[in-house]
Amino acid sequence: MAIATTRYHGLDALRGIAMLLGVVLHSALPYMDLPKEIWPTDNRYSPVISVVFEFIHIWRMPVFFILAGFFASLIIERYSWRYWWKNRLRRILLPLIIFSPLVTATLPWIWKYGQTGEVVFFYTLEGVFPGWHLWFLWHLMLFLLFTSLFIYIGAILKKIRLSFIVKCFSYLNLFSAVSKSRIFQSKFPIALIIVFTFFNLGTGADLILNPIASGLYFAFGYGLYKSSSLFEFMKSHWKQYLIASTVFFILFLLVNSQGEETISEEDVWGILYVTLKVINAVLFSYALIGLTEAKFGNQNSILRYVSDASYWIYLIHLPLVTLITFSMFQITLFIEIKFMIAILLTSLIGFVTYKYFVRSTVIGILLNGKKLS
């Protein structure tokens, strides 16, 4: 962007909210129509909770990766690639190494409690990939590895006068194409949707097993930082993007109601399903990025605090929210009330522990850097 020292308070808040909405999604899963092997359930289904889940799930991670790319571009512009790599290693990889075994290893006994009702405390990493619920952070580490290899290999090839090979590789570098091409930085993102749909077909637009697709969102965000015209257009026309995305979300719900058995890349319904998910992901991202910067672009101490706390809360929330939801299986209440209780209790514990045990400690510095006030 034109002003190198600009702070994007709205996007900071959006990134924090996207993190915190993980609490909502994981609070919703026990009240959805899922096999118990995937997630222990309350044996009751709520269409309202399911719609809430689908709405958040359809745009949350695409927005997160777009913002990750946007802020990566900002840091690199202000400092350097090397500074960004070191920053991400410190702020992402190190917390992953520290927190993943501690959090993940508590889940097996909580899962058993949810499935059988038996409380048997045990600690094990057997059969558990550390930090699986933090998969998006592992994706960011892959992007870091990819960019570092590409840049260092390119530098070496240039030194030995093989720069033409670097140029050939650049034509095959989809990350570079998406981040730099005006076609993919369009106010009417038709080409972007087509490309993203193609790379999402194999996994039903679920990013967890598709770092290429998540990398494309990251690349788009990286280029968005340098595209001031598109960024300003999002801020000015977020209402139109929101209306369009709402219409497509209703269409998605209609297609999704056909059932999971229709979701196949070789089936017309499956292709339509993935296409609608990508359309929603892109249009909601445009709308929310524009909305948050247009309406919350100024300094706001409350939103800043929420943004700071969100990383800590996401790191620790899964054992909390699962234990709370599973412990309410035997309680007779409307499941929508249980859903709200799980969200509120988990959030309360997260914010309280952040305030008193994290914010002003070395953990807070590790996660968010030093505070000026």
Q: Is residue 317 pLDDT above 80, yes or no?
A: yes
- 268-309 confidence digits (pLDDT tens): 788 899 999 999 999 999 999 999 999 998 888 999 999 999
**Amino acid at the residue 21:** L
What tokens were used for 301? 């101490």
- The pTM assigned to this predicted structure is 0.92
Instruction: Give the confidence band of 163 by pLDDT, cuts at 50, 70, 90.
Output: low
More confident: 359 or 121: 359
The mean pLDDT of 230-250, rounded to a whole number, is: 97
The per-residue pLDDT for 121 is 80
The per-residue pLDDT for 170 is 58
The per-residue pLDDT for 260 is 57
The per-residue pLDDT for 324 is 96
The per-residue pLDDT for 373 is 42
- 4-47 confidence digits (pLDDT tens): 456 799 999 999 999 999 999 999 999 998 777 778 998 888 89
